[in-house]
Amino acid sequence: MADTATTASAAAASAASASSDAPPFQLGKPRFQQTSFYGRFRHFLDIIDPRTLFVTERRLREAVQLLEDYKHGTLRPGVTNEQLWSAQKIKQAILHPDTNEKIFMPFRMSGYIPFGTPIVVGLLLPNQTLASTVFWQWLNQSHNACVNYANRNATKPSPASKFIQGYLGAVISAVSIAVGLNVLVQKANKFTPATRLLIQRFVPFPAVGRLSCRHAPGCSSLCKASCAWQPSAWPCRWPSASSRKCQRLKQPN
């Protein structure tokens, strides 16, 4: 019965694809081919697409219901592959696949650019004081930690103490690196004022780059999104409706 339902859904989707350039829909699979850099790049753009932040509650329910109909073989006639891919994109962008709960908007992958860009601007502001340096580094690491936690692998919960320990370590390290480098640059007498100012603009990069992936245990969606740039990391099961644990952890040596 399950095989019949799946076959019926696939047949309905295939028949409806005649007027669409979208590839045949596959539930829980990436829309774009992952064997090429361009396909992985398109997949990555889909993940961070900020337009999904404006999806209404009604549209979300419709997308979820459409995917349920496809799964159970009750898809109504006329539904196109494009509609199915769009529904899956919306569901994966908003709902956590393990808990099926909505992810808070600033911590979604689609919100990483619009909510993270002001923080990056703050990190690069010129002539920062000690207080402003500490504030922007703390805010950046806090945002990254919340994104990691919101997109965590919820099938294997980790103790809160482990998350807090990683968060505090990241904040302290980032602040120490940024403040320490600023002090060293200011005391460097060999540099002209213009050169010193230019170097100070790059101080946030080592602090951010060194610690951006050390906030929470497990494999977050940030890790999975980075798979788009690493062909050696594939095959990867993500995005999947059942698990967010990166398949890289299970790859043979």
pLDDT (tens digit, 9 = 90+) per residue, 165-186? 888 988 898 888 888 877 777 7
Any domain includes 187: yes
Residue 175 covered by a domain: yes
Q: Does residue 126 sit within a domain?
A: yes
Do 125 and 89 share a structural domain?
Answer: no
Flag whether 227 is in a domain.
no
The mean per-residue pLDDT over the stretch 201-230 comes to 50
Give domain status of residue 139, yes or no: yes
Does residue 23 surpass a pLDDT of 60? yes
Average pLDDT over residues 183-195: 73
Residue where a domain stops, chosen among 145, 168, 195: 195
* Whether the predicted pLDDT of 2 surpasses 70: no
- The residue among 113 and 199 whose pLDDT is bigger is 113
Question: Which residue would you say has higher pLDDT here, 161 or 18?
Answer: 161
pTM of the predicted structure, to 2 decimals: 0.69
Half-sphere exposure for 175 (CA within 13 Å, toward CB): 18
176 domain residue, yes or no: yes
Query: What percentage of the chain's residues is helix, strand, coil (to nearest 5)?
Result: 65, 0, 35
Taking the C-alpha atoms of residue 57 and residue 44, their distance in angstroms, rounded to an integer, is 24
Full domain range(s) for residue 158? 105-195
Do residues 29 and 56 both lie within one domain?
yes
Final residue before a domain boundary, out of 180, 195, 210: 195
How many structural domains is the chain composed of? 2
Q: What pLDDT shows up at residue 129?
A: 85
The answer on 190 and 136 residing in a single domain is yes
Secondary structure, 3-state, 120-165: HHHHCCCCCCHHHHHHHHHHHHHHHHHHHHHCCCCCCCCCHHHHHH
Q: pLDDT confidence of 154, banded at 50, 70, 90?
A: confident
